[in-house]
Amino acid sequence: MHDASARFRALLPRHPAQAIALGFGTAIAAGTLVLMLPMAKSGPGGSGFLEALFTATSAVCVTGLAVVDTSVFWTPFGQVTIIVLIQLGGFGVMSFASLLGVLMARRLGLRSRMQTAAETKTTGFGDVRAVLFGVLRITAATELLVATALTLRFAIGLGNPWGHSLWLGIFHSVSAFNNAGFALFSDNLVGFVGDPWICLPIAAAIILGGLGFPVLFELGRHYRRPLHWTMNTKLVISGTLTLLAAGTAFICALEWANPKVLGGLSTADKLLAGFFQSVVSRTAGFNSVDIGAMDPATWLGMDMLMFIGGGPAGTAGGLKITTFAVLFFIMFTEIQGGAAVNVFGKRLSRSVHRQAITIVLLAVGLVTGSTMALMLMTDIGLDRLLFETVSAFATVGLSTGITASLPPAGQVLLVFLMFIGRLGPVTLASALALRSRPVMYEFPKERPLIG
């Protein structure tokens, strides 16, 4: 008995990152099995394995890419399964497991504290319990408010039955706050392109979820004292405002006269649509206009917005605003000839430099390699394939309309990208490392020629 328990403990993940990867993988596997049940699919029989796997991965990784029409292909049971997977993936698999542990046992073991701290980017193990309940309160409050606003609009403003309106409100609220982008309409939200009562609550939920829970916690405590904000909060807030404004201006400028996108709308509707697409391009896969009809130059700009993403330790995807802000300040300091990288009156640790550079290079390599692989599999143009791979890796979910037409190998590749993108390249690399290997010596320094 002792030997069996020892062998079982040896199989358990030792590194928190390994547990996070295993948790997400287990959730995807369970979701795939449930979605393959006949009761989850409309019509006779169950869904195919790849359809269920792709949908479950997209939901757990809060992406929004789909190979089938969510509103038609899946039954109400299947749609409930999808929204549960979205909520689980957005909250965090290990965080959810730890929350259950707190509610049932009133305490957390050291292993659970380490895993939850790693997933939520908590600075210490002692405040993990407070963080879990804080995340739960913010999630419940935001989703409840947005669901109420959407339900009232669907029922009173658009004349839908109250029961159906409530389901629409809940589904799209959860999908929006968790930055998933799943919708219960065949054209996503194109039918509401000029409806601020639908677009703005969804945009607000996306923005709040994309800020990250550490920023939301700090804003709740010190929203009137920005001088007391941490560097992380200042970078996320300033970066979010900058990217939202720049994205809106960019999309409106390039698509203003495009009759298939913004050209046929009023000025107010054009601005609303441009703002909405700027919001969702950062991390959520909703769309209120036809993405496939956009100019390729617009796709390239949206690639950049998707690649950057939102704030860390939240429901957003991408490489995070803070990562790119660190690279910007490194570049700015080097151009100025400075010795240390200073941001908002604080000096950045050199380990942060290495982390940012590593994350970006790994991400660029994954996206480039995946795009090349898809080019070998299909005859689809580079601009559309690049958009698809960036969207999958950044867990955004926007598409030019080619997801369902990709070959099975291409769809499996997108599943891999969504999984990697949700975990983060560094987290996955840490999860694969069996143990740390400290180096007890240093080599002599030498400078190669740069440039």
Question: What is the distance between the alpha carbons of residues 119 and 16, in angstroms, rounded to a whole number?
Answer: 8
Question: What is the distance between the alpha carbons of residues 243 and 294, in angstroms, rounded to a whole number?
Answer: 20
pLDDT of res. 125: 44
For range 326-334, the mean pLDDT: 91
Does position 1 have pLDDT exceeding 60, yes or no? no
Does position 429 have pLDDT exceeding 50, yes or no? yes
Which of the 8 DSSP states describes residue 74? B
Does position 2 have pLDDT exceeding 70, yes or no? no
For residue 314, give the nearest of 231, 216, 395, 200 by alpha carbon.
216
Task: Say which residue, 390 or 426, is predicted with more confidence.
Answer: 390
pLDDT of res. 386: 97
pLDDT of res. 68: 94
DSSP symbols for 195-240: -HHHHHHHHHHHHHHHH-HHHHHHHHHHTT-GGG--HHHHHHHHHH
Local structure of 451: helix, strand or coil: coil
Which residues lie below 8 Å from residue 134, measured CB to CB, with a gap of 6+?
213, 217
For range 262-274, the mean pLDDT: 96
- 């002792």: which residue's tokens? 2
Where do the DSSP E strands lie in 240-364? 342-343, 346-347
Which residues lie below 8 Å from residue 258, measured CB to CB, with a gap of 6+?
293, 294, 295
pLDDT of res. 228: 82
pLDDT of res. 94: 53
Q: Tens digits of per-residue pLDDT, 142-158?
A: 999 999 999 999 999 99
Instruction: Name the phi and psi angles at 342, rounded to 5.
Output: -110, 135
Question: What is the distance between the alpha carbons of residues 281 and 146, in angstroms, rounded to a whole number?
Answer: 20
Question: What is the distance between the alpha carbons of residues 178 and 357, in angstroms, rounded to a whole number?
Answer: 27
Task: Say which residue, 350 or 110, is predicted with more confidence.
Answer: 350
pLDDT of res. 218: 86
In 10 A of CB 392, how many CB atoms? 34
Question: What is the distance between the alpha carbons of residues 191 and 58, in angstroms, rounded to a whole number?
Answer: 23
Confidence of residue 56 (pLDDT cuts 50, 70, 90): very high
Question: What is the distance between the alpha carbons of residues 368 and 270, in angstroms, rounded to a whole number?
Answer: 33
Q: Tens digits of per-residue pLDDT, 338-367?
A: 888 888 888 888 878 888 888 899 899 999
pLDDT of res. 321: 92
Does position 130 have pLDDT exceeding 80, yes or no? no
pTM for the structure as a whole: 0.88
Question: What is the distance between the alpha carbons of residues 411 and 241, in angstroms, rounded to a whole number?
Answer: 34
Would you tell me the crossing angle of helices 128-152 and 110-120 to the nearest 10 degrees? 50
In 10 A of CB 303, how many CB atoms? 21
Does position 299 have pLDDT exceeding 50, yes or no? yes
Confidence of residue 8 (pLDDT cuts 50, 70, 90): very low
Question: What is the distance between the alpha carbons of residues 180 and 172, in angstroms, rounded to a whole number?
Answer: 9
For range 109-120, the mean pLDDT: 50
Q: Tens digits of per-residue pLDDT, 208-261?
A: 988 988 888 888 888 788 888 888 899 999 999 999 999 999 999 999 999 999
Which residues lie below 8 Å from residue 247, measured CB to CB, with a gap of 6+?
277, 278, 279, 281, 282, 301, 302, 305
Question: What is the distance between the alpha carbons of residues 360 and 307, in angstroms, rounded to a whole number?
Answer: 10
Whether residue 306 contacts residue 421, with contact meaning beta carbons closer than 8 Å, is answered with no
pLDDT of res. 217: 83
pLDDT of res. 214: 82
pLDDT of res. 182: 94
Whether residue 165 contacts residue 151, with contact meaning beta carbons closer than 8 Å, is answered with yes
Structure tokens, 417? 């990208």
Question: What is the distance between the alpha carbons of residues 54 and 308, in angstroms, rounded to a whole number?
Answer: 24
pLDDT of res. 305: 95
Question: What is the distance between the alpha carbons of residues 123 and 18, in angstroms, rounded to a whole number?
Answer: 19
Does position 285 have pLDDT exceeding 90, yes or no? no
Q: Tens digits of per-residue pLDDT, 195-209?
A: 999 999 999 999 998
pLDDT of res. 31: 96
Structure tokens, 377? 């599999």
Does position 49 have pLDDT exceeding 60, yes or no? yes
